[in-house]
Amino acid sequence: MATTSNAAQTAAESTVCQGLATALGNNQKFIDGQRAAPDAQSEARIANREAVIAQIKRQQEASDCVVGESAQDSQATQPEQPAEAPSASAPAAETGGDNGGDADAGAGTGGDDAAASGEQVCDGSTVTLSGEAGAPAASSNQFPAGTKLKVTNLDNNKSTTVEVTSVSGSCVLLNDAAFEQVREPGKFLIRRALIEKVG
């Protein structure tokens, strides 16, 4: 019994460490891309991602992972712009800038309020964007693919309901399309988020 429990715990820790390493590598890759082809917003984006990387390293240490471990090439099939959501204790990673930020989608048009309220999860977590394209979706280190989460930005009362499609190093990480539905202009981080499991 103990052996099975320990094996399950080790597997869970391994998944968390892998998610954090992937997130770290993706952020480093994004920064390298911005430095290679800078534009007017590159400096702000790089500062944001550097703060995120610092938080990921703190999460790696807290999770007994190898601090600074990077799985930069593990997301080769995904776009090169993932970011990782810091926890509530993260340094200020918000940056000024226009609504475009480092997302490709246009300004948000409001969230999807059709989903009913569900069980509140990830209390105190902040939410940022992964830089991934496609239909609104999320990644998570706590919920399996197929889970539906409703994310509400309490600063502007916009919400969106998304399905978890992959693993990340945080409770919930929104792709570009989903983040655009709830973001505030010029901000790359939602500090006051209500996250609910609705399916």
pLDDT, residue 70, reads: 81
Which residue type, as a one-letter code, is found at position 81?
Q
Q: What is the pLDDT of residues 20-76, one digit of tens each?
A: 787 788 778 888 888 998 888 788 778 877 877 887 888 788 888 888 888 755 443
Say if CB 84 and CB 171 are below 8 A apart.
Answer: no
DSSP string computed for the chain: -HHHHHHHHHHHHHHHHHHHHHHHHHHHHHHHHHHHS--TTHHHHHHHHHHHHHHHHHHHHHTT--TT---TTTTTTS-S-------TTPPP------TTTT-SS---------SPP-EEESTT--EEB----SSS-EEESSS-TT-EEEEEETTTTEEEEEEEEEE-SSS-EE-HHHHHHHPPTT-SEESSEEEEE--
The answer to whether the CB of 137 falls within 8 A of the CB of 178 is yes
User: pLDDT tens, 151-174?
Assistant: 999 999 999 999 999 888 788 989
Would you place residue 115 in the very low, low, confident or very high pLDDT band (cuts 50, 70, 90)? very low
Q: Where are the domains of the chain?
A: 2-197
Q: How confident is the model at residue 112 (pLDDT cuts 50, 70, 90)?
A: very low
The predicted pLDDT at position 10 comes to 63
Question: pTM for this one?
Answer: 0.47
Of 5 and 136, the one with more pLDDT:
136
Contact criterion met (CB below 8 Å) for 171 and 125: yes
Residue count (the chain): 199
* CATH entry 3.40.50.2000 includes domain 2-197: no
What is the per-residue pLDDT across 3-15, written as a single tens digit (0 to 9) for each?
555 555 565 567 7
Confidence (pLDDT) at 12: 56
Closest CA to 82 of 172, 173, 151, 192: 173
Is the pLDDT reported for residue 91 higher than 90?
Answer: no
pLDDT at position 84 is 43
